[in-house]
Amino acid sequence: MNCATLRFSRHAFERMFERGLSPAVVEQSIATAEPIKEYPDERPFPSVLLLAFHQQTPVHLVVAKNPLTEDCVVVTVYIPDAKLWRDDFKTRRNR
């Protein structure tokens, strides 16, 4: 995902700190991540769920992007729970 600028929500910073992920790691992850779900109706900007890997660990990132300026905001970052996601970490398991 290409972003003109990248900002982090407070929530994202808190989750990154909890998971030991630096802003540089998150920025690199966004650049190489695979989009797995789009949220076009999110406000104030459309967002996307991305899948990246850091040191072989899957990471999900939700990033909102202003379509006019291409500025991005990292909404949250988390390690997907293998109990909730299939082995590819792209598809949720049926409950």
Residue 36 lies in a domain: yes
* pLDDT tens, N- to C-terminus, the chain (95 residues): 899 999 999 999 999 999 999 999 999 999 999 999 999 999 999 999 999 999 999 999 999 999 999 999 999 999 999 999 999 999 999 86
Assigned token pair, 80: 């997907």
- Predicted confidence at residue 94, as pLDDT, reads 81
Domain range for 42 is 6-78
Q: What is the CATH number for 35?
A: 3.30.2310
Q: What is the pTM of this model?
A: 0.92
Domain contains 11:
yes
Domain count, the chain: 1
What is residue 95's predicted lDDT score, i.e. its pLDDT? Answer: 67
Buried b (16+ CB within 10 A) or exposed e, 3-42: beebebeeebeebbeeeebeeebbeebbeebeebeeeeee
40 closest CA partner among 64, 5, 9: 64
**Residue 92, in any domain of the structure:** no
